[in-house]
Amino acid sequence: MTPPFIPLAEPWLPPGIADAVRDQIRSGFVGPGPRTQAFADAIRATTGAAHCHLTTSGTIALSVAAHAIGLRPGDEILVPAYGVISTINAFASVGLRPRLVDIDRRTGCMDLDLLEEAIAPGTRAVCFVNFSGYTGENLRRIAEICARRGLPWIEDAACALGHRYEGQWAGTFGTAGIYSFSVPKVLTTGQGGAVVTADSAIADRAAAFIDHGDLEWRKTNLNREIGTNLRFNDVLAALGHAQVLELDARLARRRQNYLVLREILGERLYGVPGPEAPLHNIVFTDEPDRLVSALGGASIGAVRQYRTISQHPAYRALADRRFPHADTWTDQAVYLPFGMAMTPDDAERVGRAVLAAGVALSEAAQVYQSG
């Protein structure tokens, strides 16, 4: 008998969450209203961010953050050469000129030595991605580099809600930071995102851009800047608010699954610094397709995802140089199921199936978790 399918990233939505959404709908507030404010306030209180504004996705949160820190069409922003397409698209789609910096092979994050070399007179900003929740000393280092070079930086903490370094929450290190609430994340509203910052002028510009360019226009009937409608709503906020209040339990659930997998796969499983589990469960092999297919045969939804950004036809123009570490990840990384709905039994089944696939896991996975 075929065992039940374990999807790549199934959300975990216990019944209390559906109750919160139903109650919200019954309240009659379904647009941007008090629950949207309460959800933003809860993220602020949880992360220690001074300001938080919600928007429709993590991608849009990045575009809003870029506008809020003062970037304008034509400006150059440095981004990692490997990862989800959302990060670079968020900037290119609003007319910025992204340029790629290779990643550190061990961490999956932008290599900061290469960043130092890549900063040019025309560079206006940097976007550092906390890859899969990766934090650590490099957050202090990028802050130092950008301060020294007079550059604002956006911390793409889309995957890093809950991760801390020396007690400070990922997302709050950058000039502005963002979170995503898409389906695979530890907290999901289906779609959604947030911009956080310690700077009140940046926060006001973000809030204004999200709501037609002016914080007062509903009172004054005057719009002083151009913006658009990227506002969140109370139905999705109820979904998110119920989860942020239980974030510790959600993080614990993910840690538990990760530790089961780690017990089976050891250091060949990607890890991040600190006590939290990475968002993704990643292994590396010279035979990624064979591993994905063997896991598929065991009813497990593993995938190869993400690639060197310059391999996408849309970003062919950035292929004028090589990004060897991004290429290694592209060629070798396999993403095992990591959804919040996974149970420790699922994690055990996944780990055993990886071993049973008879595929050698490669040295490239010798990344560390400092504990």
Binding site for ligand PLP (CB under 6 A): 57-59, 83-84, 86-87, 129, 156, 158-159, 180, 182, 193
Count the Cβ atoms, other than its own, within 10 Å of residue 309: 25
- Distance of closest approach, residue 129 Cβ to ligand PLP, in angstroms: 5
Nearer to ligand PLP by Cβ, of 159 and 359: the residue is 159
Least gap, CB of 83 to ligand PLP (angstroms): 6
> Distance of alpha carbon 82 from its chain centroid, rounded?
13
Distance CA 108, CA 130 (A): 9
Pick 159 or 244: Cβ nearer ligand PLP: 159
Q: Which is nearer to ligand PLP, 101 or 361 (CB)?
A: 101
- Integer Cα distance of 44 and 50 in angstroms: 6
Nearest CB to ligand PLP, comparing residues 190 and 358: 190
The rounded distance, in Å, linking the Cα atoms of 280 and 206 is 29
Closer residue to ligand PLP, CB minimum distance, 182 or 362: 182
Report d(CA 227, CA 22) in Å as an integer.
32
361 three-state secondary structure: strand
Per-residue tokens: 94: 């609003």
* Nearer of residues 182 and 281 to ligand PLP, judged by Cβ: 182
Residue 86 or 310 with smaller CB distance to ligand PLP: 86
Taking residue 162's Cβ as centre, other Cβ atoms within 10 Å add up to 26
**Can you say whether the dihedral through the CA atoms of 201, 182, 76, 211 is positive or negative?**
negative
Around Cβ 18, how many Cβ atoms within 10 Å? 13
Which residues are bridge partners to 79 per DSSP? 100
Q: Min. distance of Cβ 80 from ligand PLP in angstroms? A: 9
- The least CB distance from residue 165 to ligand PLP, in Å, is 17
Could you tell me which residues come within 8 angstroms of residue 351 by beta carbon, excluding any fewer than 6 positions away?
Answer: 260, 261, 263, 264, 265
- Name the minimum Å distance from CB 86 to ligand PLP: 3
The dihedrals phi and psi of 301, each to the nearest 5 degrees, come to -90, 70
Work out how close the CB of 158 gets to ligand PLP at its nearest, in angstroms, rounded to a whole number.
Answer: 3
Taking the complex as a whole, how short is the minimal distance between the CB of residue 193 and ligand PLP, in angstroms? 5
Element (H or E) spanning 148, and its range?
helix 138-148
